[in-house]
Structure 1
Amino acid sequence: MTLRPDLAIIAANVAPGSRVLDVGCGDGALMAALRDERGCDARGLELSADDVAAAVGRGLSVIQGDADTDLADYPDASFDYAILSQTLQTTRRPDWVLDQLLRIGQRAVVSFPNFAHWRVRASLLWGGRMPVTRLLPLEWYATPNIHHVTIDDFRAFVKSRGIVVEGAWFLSRDRRTSSAAANFLAEHAVFQLRRG
């Protein structure tokens, strides 16, 4: 099974044998890869009952839950990695969720679509409407994304909280791109973080 490009980056950067919590794990594709290819003890938390059923059907340990409320139930430092892929922008309190990830895991890995990508900017500038793109595919009234974030917003946010960026990867058209002008050129970002 081929992983989505951001998930492949995450999987390649999780140490073999780690304890992993995948928050917003979807159907468990990343968890299965971490279990099968990296020997990780992967657990998941997912809001969608259908995705929970699909992940459990793969033999994965996934419970139904909400990142906005249920992360508080996990003990401190109970995982090596707490992962949040393409979910940060859907949470009600992304700042609280990120704090919880860094409390639960020794490291947090976060990926999100970049709202400052040039196509998004052009759509707003020339069309005057909220953009619909490959990574932001739904109209404004139907999207689960409630906190659009840019790469520069996220960098400033983690810096203001003293969070250390251990790694950052950027994607455009599903291929890795350089960090130079990433806020303008990258469609998607992946950050690996730890407390300072």
Structure 2
Amino acid sequence: MIARKTTRVRDQASGSGEPVAPQHVRADLARIASWIEPGSRVLDLGCADGALLAYLHKTKQVTGVGVELDDKQVIAAVRRGVCVIQQNLEDGLALFDDQQFDTVVLSRTLQSMHNTEHILREMARVARYGIVSFPNFGYWPHGWSILRGRMPVTGEMPFQWFDTPNIHLCTLSDFEDLALALQLRITHLATFNGKKEVKLLPGWRSTLAVYRFESPRLSEEA
């Protein structure tokens, strides 16, 4: 394997220990939860129905805030007892102060953002750590579909080319290059194919990548 400019870091045991994934929590969300410290302040961007924040509040007593645009999802999150701000993420995170949170999460949303660099910079501004997950365009069946002259349609990318919300697809290496350019230090990586975590050849075999990175502001403070 050719060495990358950014060292790919597999998931490590954090201070919160190994994740416990009850049936009602997706495997990737359980992994995200394992990287978040108990009692910390969490911002969940594109929080959907608030499942992650509700889980974190119950299991780790975090103070959480979600941002969501869809009316039905906002209502569902509120019913779970989650504090939600209804806002379009494309408008930025100006309502939040610098380093207001310990961790900010952007789950399965990065690929649909118009200004990818801006949202990552904003995540690094408002929190000490950021967690992002996105479909892995490097998954090998995607390449096979393209060789056959078709855009890929898979579980993580179920849309047709004409109705997909996914406008910025990338591979693991693509994201790592961008993180390096933005001075985001990657601390953890977990990759999944459905409910199973992928350890071997993740760039080819995984459908979903989850990264944890450190804000450059932490290095400046050190």
Coarse TM-score class (shorter-chain normalised): over 0.9
Pairing partner for 1:50 from 72, 86, 99: 72
Determine which structure has more spread, i.e. the larger CA radius of gyration: 2
Give the partner amino acid of 1:173.
G
Give the partner amino acid of 1:110.
V
Greater helix content:
1
Give the partner amino acid of 1:151.
L
Dislocated runs of 4+, deviation >3 Å: none
Three-state SS of the structure 2 residue aligned to 1:157 is helix
Matched, 1:140 2:161: yes
Question: How many pairs align?
Answer: 194
Structure 1 residue 156: Cα displacement: 0.8
For each residue in 1:49-76, what CA deviation from the matched residue of structure 2 results, as whole angstroms up to 9, or x when unmatched?
A: 1100100111110111111114122110
Percent pairwise identity: 37
Farther-moved stretch of structure 1 (16-25 vs 160-169):
160-169
Partner residue, 1:121: 143
Partner residue, 1:59: 81
What is the distance in 2 between the residues matched to 1:91 and 1:121?
23
Matched, 1:194 2:214: yes
Q: Which runs of 5+ in 1 are unaligned?
A: none
Greater strand content:
1
Q: TM-score, normalised by structure 2?
A: 0.84
- What do you get for the CA RMSD once the two structures are aligned? 1.1
Pairing partner for 2:108 from 52, 62, 86: 86
What is the distance in 2 between the residues matched to 1:19 and 1:135?
29
Q: TM-score, normalised by structure 1?
A: 0.95
Matched, 1:160 2:152: no
What is the distance in 2 between the residues matched to 1:117 and 1:47?
29
Matched, 1:177 2:198: yes
Matched, 1:25 2:25: no
Give the partner amino acid of 1:116.
G
Matched, 1:71 2:63: no
What is the distance in 1 between the residues matched to 2:82 and 2:182?
34
Three-state SS of the structure 1 residue aligned to 2:94 is helix
Give the partner amino acid of 2:49.
D
Three-state SS of the structure 1 residue aligned to 2:93 is helix
What is the distance in 1 between the residues matched to 2:147 and 2:93?
38
Structure 1 residue 107: Cα displacement: 0.3
What is the distance in 1 between the residues matched to 2:181 and 2:202?
20
Give the partner amino acid of 2:197.
R
Give the partner amino acid of 2:58.
D
Three-state SS of the structure 2 residue aligned to 1:73 is coil
Three-state SS of the structure 2 residue aligned to 1:27 is coil
Q: Which runs of 5+ in 2 are unaligned?
A: 1-22, 217-222
